[in-house]
């Protein structure tokens, strides 16, 4: 299982770094964030019913992180560095990445450096592509880590497990 996750993530990294794609490396990392998170969170469920609770906990962490960041974006109204809109604080990409990194590292502690490294790469890409400030990324990382930790420590998950019993 862990080999599949690592392979899927590495293939996505390779695909965004090919020169055939337009944009900078940091833009490409930002573009692949949510597909990579979706793949990483879904893989246990694809292995059968025994993997569904793990996938649900991963999605719980991501859903909570995205909900919190969405609420804060609506309340804070901080302009992005590129001035494209006033929804900079906090970084939702980083929050989602750290939520998945925390759940994966709890399940596979030997590979946590890989998951947190990729989450940090996503945070870096948001600053480098002029979409966020470092404070946005730091807040997103804290929200994501906390959401992921909460979802893993909850026996039924936070949201999904309360609706679907396994």
Secondary structure (DSSP) of 43-94: HHHHT-GGGHHHHHHHHHHHHHHHHHHHHHHHHH-PPPTT-S-S--SS-HHH
The C-alpha atoms of residue 37 and residue 59 are separated, in whole angstroms, by 9
Among 148, 106, 100, smallest CA distance to 120 is for 100
pLDDT, residue 54, reads 63
Neighbours of 114 (CB within 10 A): 18
Give the model's confidence band at 28: pLDDT under 50 very low, under 70 low, under 90 confident, else very high. Answer: low
Q: What is the pTM assigned to this prediction?
A: 0.77
Radius of gyration for the chain, computed over Cα atoms and rounded to the nearest angstrom: 16
Instruction: Please give the structure tokens belonging to residue 29.
Output: 């990392």
Q: Which of 79-83, 115-119, 136-140, 152-156 has the lowest mean pLDDT?
A: 152-156
Among 55, 60, 11, smallest CA distance to 35 is for 11
> Mind listing the pLDDT tens digit for each residue in 61-101?
888 898 999 999 999 999 999 998 999 999 998 999 899 88
Q: Answer whether 16's CB lies under 8 Å from 28's CB.
A: yes
Q: What one-character-per-residue DSSP string does 12-26 give?
A: HHHHHHSTTS-S-HH
Q: CA 137 → CA 27, 71, 88, 150, distances in Å? A: 15, 16, 9, 20
> Mind listing the pLDDT tens digit for each residue in 29-65?
666 666 766 666 666 655 554 556 666 666 788 888 9
Question: Does the pLDDT value for residue 6 go beyond 70?
Answer: no
């Amino acid at each position: 299982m862990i080999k599949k996750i690592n392979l899927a993530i590495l293939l996505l990294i390779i695909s965004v770094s090919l020169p055939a794609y337009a944009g900078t490396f940091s833009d490409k990392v930002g573009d692949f964030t949510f597909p990579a998170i979706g793949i990483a969170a879904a893989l246990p469920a694809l292995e059968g019913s025994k993997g569904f609770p793990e996938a649900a906990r991963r999605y719980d962490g991501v859903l909570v992180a995205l909900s919190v960041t969405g609420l804060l974006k609506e309340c804070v109204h901080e302009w992005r560095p590129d001035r494209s809109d006033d929804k900079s604080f906090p970084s939702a990409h980083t929050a989602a990445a750290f939520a998945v990194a925390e759940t994966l590292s709890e399940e596979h502690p030997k590979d946590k450096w890989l998951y947190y490294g990729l989450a940090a790469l996503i945070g870096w890409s948001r600053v480098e592509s002029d979409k966020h400030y470092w404070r946005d990324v730091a807040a997103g990382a804290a929200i994501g880590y906390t959401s992921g930790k909460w979802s893993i420590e909850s026996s039924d998950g936070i949201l999904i497990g309360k609706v679907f019993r396994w």
